[in-house]
């Protein structure tokens, strides 16, 4: 059993959202579903989703990071997560159609942003700050 399970509060689309997320990630599945709570896994990570009503909404204070190995992977997740009403933001952040925030980033984003050379670090940061969807080649070029 997972010790910590993210628990997501939806107005009334918990199962729809869970099915959407499961369709995006490999090794994912719906574990159980009732009218109130849906338990699901995304790439082996447990999640729970609640049909809790309109009282609470998602904010950018909580987001999920998707670490991607290639530009194609970034492009695919970005496209799918912003589809049907999702909203792109800046620096690899977006909100999906349910209002949940995601960061779709290259797996080496930390290495690119934590350059020992301060000038390189600033170039990467400046390049990133101009992006919505991340362009890995541009960040790598800035790090040179």
Is a pLDDT exceeding 90 seen at residue 96?
Answer: yes
Question: In sequence order, which ranges of 9-117 are alpha helices (DSSP H)?
Answer: 14-24, 71-82, 109-113
Residue 77 and residue 93 in contact, taking contact as beta carbons nearer than 8 Å: no
Going by pLDDT thresholds of 50, 70 and 90, the confidence category of residue 47 is very high
Strand partners, 9: 50
Q: Do residue 68 and residue 124 come from a single domain?
A: yes
* Number of independent structural domains in the chain: 2
Q: Do residue 111 and residue 75 come from a single domain?
A: yes
Q: Mean pLDDT throughout 32-47?
A: 96
The reported pLDDT for the residue numbered 129 is 96
Q: Do residue 75 and residue 133 come from a single domain?
A: yes
Q: Mean pLDDT throughout 73-89?
A: 97
| Crossing angle of the two packed helices 71-82 and 136-143, in degrees rounded to 10 | 130
Report field, pTM of the whole predicted structure over 0.85: yes
Q: How far is CA 124 from each of CA 90, 105, 118, rounded to the nearest angstrom? A: 14, 14, 10
The reported pLDDT for the residue numbered 115 is 82
Going by pLDDT thresholds of 50, 70 and 90, the confidence category of residue 63 is very high
Q: Do residue 52 and residue 63 come from a single domain?
A: no
Q: Do residue 73 and residue 132 come from a single domain?
A: yes
Q: Residue 99: which domain range? A: 58-144
Percentage above 70 pLDDT, the chain: 99
């Amino acid at each position: 059993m997972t010790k910590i399970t993210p628990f997501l509060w939806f107005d009334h689309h918990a199962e729809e959202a869970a099915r959407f997320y499961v369709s995006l990630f490999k090794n994912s599945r719906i574990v159980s579903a009732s009218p109130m709570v849906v338990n699901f896994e995304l790439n082996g990570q447990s999640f729970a989703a609640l049909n809790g009503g309109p009282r609470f909404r998602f904010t950018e204070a909580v987001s999920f990071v998707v670490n991607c190995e290639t530009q194609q992977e970034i492009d695919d997740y970005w496209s799918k997560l912003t589809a049907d009403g999702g909203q792109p933001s800046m620096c690899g952040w977006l909100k999906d159609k349910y209002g949940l925030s995601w960061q779709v980033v290259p797996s080496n984003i930390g290495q690119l942003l934590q350059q020992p050379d301060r000038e390189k670090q600033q170039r990467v940061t400046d390049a990133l700050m101009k992006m919505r969807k991340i362009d890995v080649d541009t960040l790598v070029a800035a790090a040179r």
